[in-house]
Amino acid sequence: MDQFTENAFNYDAGKYRTPDGAPADIVIFTITSSPRSTKKKSLPHRQLEILLIERKGWPFAGQWALPGGFSNEKETLLDCAKRELAEETGVDSVHIEYFNAYSTPDRDPRGWIISHAFVALVNEKYLEKRKAADDAADVRLFSVEEALKMELAFDHRQILLDSLQQIQRQMLTTTIAKEFLPEEFTIGELYQVIQTVVPSFEEKNFIRKITATRSRQGLIEEVRGHDGELKQSNQYSQRAAQLYRFTDYVPQLSIYS
Amino acid sequence: MDQFTENAFNYDAGKYRTPDGAPADIVIFTITSSPRSTKKKSLPHRQLEILLIERKGWPFAGQWALPGGFSNEKETLLDCAKRELAEETGVDSVHIEYFNAYSTPDRDPRGWIISHAFVALVNEKYLEKRKAADDAADVRLFSVEEALKMELAFDHRQILLDSLQQIQRQMLTTTIAKEFLPEEFTIGELYQVIQTVVPSFEEKNFIRKITATRSRQGLIEEVRGHDGELKQSNQYSQRAAQLYRFTDYVPQLSIYS
DNA sequence: TTTTAATATGTCAAAATGACATTATTAAAT
DNA sequence: ATTTAATAATGTCATTTTGACATATTAAAA
């Protein structure tokens, strides 16, 4: 006999202990790019980074933690996560997704608090303003590598590990690469983004596979200018590279085909 | 300033409203099989079904709902879900997986209650005892089709829809088919199980694709008897069919290869 | 004996893959 | 003016895979 089987007459929500809060924590991923050389045209160095906040109060004061906050009864967890994301980054309407719940007893010294973890993917262009403003602030980006070496608050290291595995899988099975790319991009950029998230990724003849229209029903398509000419870019190379964009095609993968 | 930034001195967990409970709800899927004919050897009719419970008390008394119950502060949500699953089906150690949180305000008339949804996949062989015992009981299996036509309690229809989409994706991208099959199975059975969950699934030359060792690094392997001879079954057909089992190979899918 | 339902193999052109080598482009350096 | 460097793209070709159909196997049932 559990609470569900009580009837209106004897129902009393207060007779069991209830949680002490329902927070949303967000792993905010971005890929930063920095020039590898000042003189020549070359692809930038790219790095997967996450945003962390230095805690001021108890518990875990002085330690770095994932951004997050408690939700209230008037909003969904997604709304809460979006609100927190907007507070930390100043952006809304980016890719954000529910991901897992963390409920190990005593994971939070403040009480019985189940954390709801979200993953957000933010293009670095949205973080540029912020970046300038907080040198030596209590909010900053860390490379995932760095972050994993740190002692993070709560079980946030585990949350980070799990979220990393999640976006590595998604990078190869969905089109989330687009979240880290400009609208129009070169094959080289796309390849770099994939490798930044999944270092082991390697595909010989990548350009041929990705641009072969037959099998992959046009995952990406060539960009053309107003004049109908193929639009190219020589930002990274002497030889101009064709620009592509993602189509709205949703690939369906199967281990049985 | 949120609760995370309070310090030990002025921290007071009671100053915000807190949730009125943290339940786990479970979508328990099974595939039932029933003979299509009494006389001839033929493949059975298979149907995807879920387990529902008729509610006795407020709220939603008399309506059918997903099995579930409130968790307590001494256990994880997964422990809670496993406990509920064991109560309803008498089985433990089956495939069970966290899936999503449902937090729409007022989704539960009893208060602010965020539900944690799990998916469990149970082989029908574990439900056989139970099935016999409760004709006309308040716990029974419904085909997914039926269930979607009913007025389920809470937002359980939405949870069902989401979980269905989830296992359809997983059926094609992971080896969850094994949860619905005996240890040793024929290609025909495997094909049927996939189609039962994903009706649109169709693969010409399925047997050749699935048994070609080169590409799919041995997703399944032939079963041999003690004598080293290939083990076959003529349960469903005149001509004996080769028996296979899943290997522990984990397929890695990619839209870029 | 013939039919039947499921299982399995034969055939063969078309397409995709894998592994390398080669060519193209052109701003920047010399 | 010539060379260099970095990225982009194509050439080649043997090997595999796929797609679409036709054909064979088996043993119980009609």
Residue A132's pLDDT is what? Answer: 53
Is residue B205's beta carbon less than 7 angstroms from any atom in nucleic acid strand D? yes
CB atoms within 10 A of CB B32: 18
Which strand C bases fall within 7 angstroms of a protein CB? 4-10, 15-20, 24-29
Residue A76's pLDDT is what? Answer: 98
| Mean pLDDT of the region B8-25 | 75
> Residues in chain A with pLDDT < 70?
1-14, 39, 129-136, 213-217
Residue A238's pLDDT is what? Answer: 87
Residue A8's pLDDT is what? Answer: 38
Output the pTM of the full model. Answer: 0.92
Tell me the nt nearest to B203, Cα to C1': D19
| Mean pLDDT of the region B76-83 | 97
Name the residue with higher pLDDT: A226 or B28: B28
Residue B227's pLDDT is what? Answer: 87
What average pLDDT does the structure give for chain A?
Answer: 89
User: Is residue B84 pLDDT above 50, yes or no?
Assistant: yes
User: Is residue B114 pLDDT above 80, yes or no?
Assistant: yes
**CA separation (Å) from A139 to A17, A47, A55, A87, A130?**
35, 18, 10, 11, 10
In the structure, what pLDDT confidence band is assigned to residue B217 with cuts at 50, 70 and 90?
Answer: low
B257-CA/C13-C1' distance, Å: 24
Contact in structure between B193 and B181 (CB atoms under 8 Å): yes
Joined tokens for residue B134: 């409760």
Candidates B9, B17, B103, B166, partner chain A, best to mutate (most A CBs within 10 A): B103
Residue carrying the six token digits 């002692």? A151
Please provide the DSSP assignment of chain B as one string.
--GGG--TTT--GGGS---S--EEEEEEEEEEEE-S-SSS--PPEEEEEEEEEE--SSSSTTSEE--EEE--TTS-HHHHHHHHHHHHHS--SSEEEEEEEE--TTSSTTSS--EEEEEEE--GGGGHHHHHH-TT-SEEEEEHHHHHHS--STTHHHHHHHHHHHHHHHHHHSSGGGGGS-SSEEHHHHHHHHHHH-TT---TTHHHHHH-TTTSTTSEEE-B-TTSPBPEE-SS-SS-EEEEEE-S------TT-
